[in-house]
């Protein structure tokens, strides 16, 4: 089994922003704002970009737009930030196609979500991810988010997949620290475990997790980077201090389905215009002051 020091395996660490996809009010992609966000994240200390995932509204962009968003991110971030591209889907053949496109435009890795809606068995999940990895020579991070996919990938399945060449890690959004503690104990050397749940990310990293693929980092990149580094390095006092500062924001950014609140927050900070694509709609007015006050509490407005 390759280790994290193997030069063939990219190692990601720290705050990896689950980057939003900026859109204009008519729903068209705003590539100028996208590039400016990438610049801002590089300046603020973000450790990597995860593009065209859940926060990037992957379900409502076309394949052509999806590939262009990866390509622009790779080219604009070159030499500054690594790019992990969302390449998942509930069709294995389509996920392979997206993986091929991501590799062709230079992504460092792909983020591959558990197939949604069709509810595969654990064996189906294993065969799905194995087939993608065998078809495309692109390092893959698995993504378990049962709150969205219904299917929940077990620790046993993750451990089986950790033996498949090319599968280098997992993003887990369950927030189940007891379960993740067992996973961290059992994974082979070099297999990277990332939080996908901002409220529990600090706890995971204090237990040995490698980083946080973060929604909150869209508005608090510097603070999230500092939190991740403190937790990874075992500085409990600083971790508690920074986590307390972000705790309200970590909760409030999910008052409606992600990325509705965080896109509103990024626009409120003056970083983008505000646009979504149906079936997502604008943040309900009743939550505006709540999100705004949470940004102020964290010192971001």
Give the tens place of pLDDT for each residue, 251-262. Answer: 999 999 999 999
pLDDT at 6: 54
pLDDT (tens digit, 9 = 90+) per residue, 61-116?
999 999 999 999 999 999 999 999 999 999 999 999 999 999 999 999 999 999 99
pLDDT at 82: 98
Domain span holding position 46:
14-233
Q: Is the pLDDT of residue 185 over 50?
A: yes
pLDDT grade for 10, boundaries at 50, 70 and 90? confident
Q: For residues 145 and 38, what is the distance between their CA atoms, to the nearest angstrom?
A: 25
In a domain, 167, yes or no: yes
pLDDT at 137: 97
Query: Which residue, 44, 45, 57, is CA-closest to 18?
Result: 57
213 burial level (CB within 10 Å; 0-12, 13-18, 19+): buried
**More confident of the two residues 242 and 1:** 242
Q: Kindly give, in sequence order, each residue whose CB lies less than 8 Å from that of residue 10, ignoring residues fewer than 6 positions away.
A: 82, 108, 109, 139, 168
Q: Per the domain annotation, does 169 fall within a domain?
A: yes
Judge whether 143 counts as a catalytic residue: yes
Q: With respect to residue 285, please indicate whether it lies within any of the assigned structural domains.
A: no
CATH number at residue 19: 3.20.20.70
- Examine the pLDDT at 41 and tell me if it is beyond 70: yes
pLDDT tens-digit readout, 52-63:
999 999 999 999
In the block, residue with structure tokens 């600090």: 202
Q: Please report which confidence band the pLDDT of residue 5 belongs to, taking 50, 70 and 90 as the band edges.
A: very low
Note the pLDDT of residue 8: 64
Best CA proximity match to 201, nearest among 15, 12, 10, 11: 15
Q: Tokens for 155, please give them.
A: 């620790």
In a domain, 5, yes or no: no
Q: Is residue 295 part of a domain?
A: no
Q: Answer yes or no: is 55 a known binding residue.
A: yes
pTM of structure:
0.95
Average of per-residue pLDDT values in the chain: 96
pLDDT digits (tens, 9 = 90+) for 195-227: 999 999 999 999 999 999 999 999 999 999 999
Query: Is 244 within the bounds of a domain?
Result: no
Q: How many structural domains is the chain composed of?
A: 1
Catalytic residue among 71, 103, 130, 171: 171
- The percent of residues above 90 in pLDDT, for the chain, comes to 96
Q: Could you give the 3-state DSSP secondary structure of residue 38?
A: helix
* Residue 9: per-residue pLDDT: 79
Does 130 qualify as catalytic in the annotation? no
Which helix (H) or strand (E) segment is 183 a member of?
A: helix 177-186
Query: Is 271 part of any domain?
Result: no
Q: Burial code of 219-250, b = ≥16 C-beta within 10 A, e = fewer?
A: bbbebbbbbbbbbbeeeeeebeebbebbbebb
Look-up: residue for tokens 């694509």? 277
Q: Is 4 one of the annotated binding-site residues? A: no
Question: What is the percentage of the chain residues whose pLDDT exceeds 70?
Answer: 97
Within-domain flag for 209: yes
Residue of 34, 126, 143, 276 marked active site: 143
In sequence order, what DSSP letters do the residues of 112-175 get, joined into one string? EEPP-SS---HHHHHHHHHHHHHH--S-EEEEE-HHHHS----HHHHHHHTTSTTEEEEEE-S-
């Amino acid at each position: 089994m390759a280790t994290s020091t193997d030069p063939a395996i990219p190692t990601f660490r720290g705050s990896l922003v689950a980057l939003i996809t900026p859109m204009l009010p008519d729903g068209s992609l705003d590539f100028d704002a996208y590039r400016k966000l990438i610049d801002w994240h590089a300046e603020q200390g973000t450790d990597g970009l995860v593009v065209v995932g859940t926060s990037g509204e992957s379900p409502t962009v076309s394949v052509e737009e999806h590939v262009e968003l990866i390509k622009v991110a790779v080219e604009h971030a070159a030499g500054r930030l690594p790019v992990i591209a969302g390449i998942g889907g509930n069709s294995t053949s389509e996920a392979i196609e997206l993986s091929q496109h991501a590799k062709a435009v230079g992504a460092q890795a792909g983020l591959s979500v558990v197939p949604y809606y069709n509810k595969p068995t654990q064996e189906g999940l294993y065969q799905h991810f194995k087939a993608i990895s065998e078809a495309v020579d692109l390092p893959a991070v698995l993504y378990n988010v049962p709150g969205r996919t219904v299917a929940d990938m077990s620790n046993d399945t993750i451990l089986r997949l950790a033996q498949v060449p090319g599968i280098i890690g997992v993003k887990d959004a369950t927030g189940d620290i007891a379960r993740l503690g067992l996973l961290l104990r059992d994974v082979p050397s070099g297999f990277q475990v990332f939080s996908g749940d901002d409220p529990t990310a600090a706890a995971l990293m204090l237990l040995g997790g490698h980083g946080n693929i973060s929604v909150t980092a869209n508005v608090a990149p510097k603070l999230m980077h500092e939190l991740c580094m403190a937790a990874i390095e075992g500085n409990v006092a600083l971790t508690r201090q920074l986590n307390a500062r972000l705790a309200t924001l970590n909760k409030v950014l999910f008052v409606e389905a992600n990325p509705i609140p965080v896109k509103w927050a990024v626009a409120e900070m003056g970083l983008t215009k505000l646009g979504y694509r149906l079936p997502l709609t604008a943040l309900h007015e009743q939550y505006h002051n709540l999100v705004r006050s949470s940004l102020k509490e964290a010192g971001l407005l």
